[in-house]
Amino acid sequence: MNNALKLSVAAAMLFSFAACEPSKKTDASTTQSDSTITTVKLDSTKFQKEIDGKKTNLYVLKNKNNIQAYFTNYGGRLVSLLVPDSTGKLVDVVVGFDSVEGFKNSTEPYFGATIGRYGNRIAKGKFSLDGKEYTLALNNGQNTLHGGKKGFQDVVWDAVQPDSNTVVLSYLSKDMEEGYPGNLKVKVTYTLTDNNELKMDYEATTDKKTVCNLTNHAFFNLNGEGSGDILGHRLQIYADQFTPVDTTLIPLGKNIAVKGTPFDFTTATTIGKRIEENNDQLKAGKGYDHNYVLNGTKAMGMTHAATVKGDKSGIVMEIYTQEPGIQFYSGNFMQSKNVFKGGAKDDFRTALALETQHFPDSPNQPSFPSTVLSPGQTYKTSSIYTFNSK
């Protein structure tokens, strides 16, 4: 490496480290190798806005391996996640925008967001507790999706960054917000460990019986934002059953075996291999948009939910959780209407989501694991997304 390049690399690393201060302008440049410098520019001033009387900002987590995770407290969003590929080059594996306005104005409201009060769908926006029926805002045809018209993806969370590895987000969802009963106090802690783990720890309490199902809706492309579709990614889901749905994506009330169906990812299979098969469930979701019932495979002291590998980058993402299910969404409703931070559009199936969760419509499905939270109880669950390259 020549002296000029050494100086350039040193300056880039120093500037990147300075990005950990959310009050300063961020232009994070990260050194990959002696011959390659990949620059990710996120100007923190574009995240310093005021929405509903509360200030938004950009928060940067970084571990000793130079992996970086960028969050904004607008919607509790994961904005960017830089991890090394098989050559050591850092790749941004999370699609998103370079400003609060980008997220706020997106036709897809869930990019990177913390989801609540209830992740996934509730049929016809109605459920009952102790004989009382509650009516929610409808925002997905005749159903409620991801909390309603103004779910947690559209609120400003209180944020504290106690160290360079952690950001803690808190939000009070008031009684009857979007139709849900109870004052729900929510805390989500995102931690980037030195073992290349992005930990998501969720907690919630309520003063009135309610339902709660929290998750994160990061859209991943392990080949990098702007690299094309995700159909070549190899996916394994540790589930023997999935939850079939009707044409509005509401569960039919039972789980069925994946064996012999296009939904069988019990062994690593490319996402695109069977996605165009003539199958009623694939037609209903316009691809994969279904809950998988995890079979309890243990690893890391948790349930091993999924493994996915980028076919171009060699980046492998492992997902572990305390939740009973994971929603696999293959980007079927991406419509090229938004421009990401790197300049690429959100083209059809250019990202996927793997959301750890309880099952969709559980409040109306007695056979599903309960999502009821009562006063005196603490909703507490964790998921871990780990990254390596092969």
Residue 203: which residues within 8 A CB-CB, separation 6 or more?
Answer: 186, 187, 188, 378, 379, 380
Dihedral of CA atoms 284, 309, 12, 104 in degrees, nearest 10, equals 10
Catalytic residue among 290, 318, 355, 358: 355
Classify residue 293 by its DSSP letter.
E
355 is catalytic: yes
On whether the CB atoms of residues 174 and 210 are closer than 8 A, the answer is no
Dihedral of CA atoms 368, 151, 223, 202 in degrees, nearest 10, equals -60
Classify residue 177 by its DSSP letter.
G
CA angle 225/227/229 to nearest 5° reads: 100
CA angle 13/16/21 to nearest 5° reads: 140
- Nearest CA to 190 among 358, 387, 43, 384? 384
Catalytic residue among 217, 233, 290, 304: 217
So which residues are the catalytic ones?
217, 355
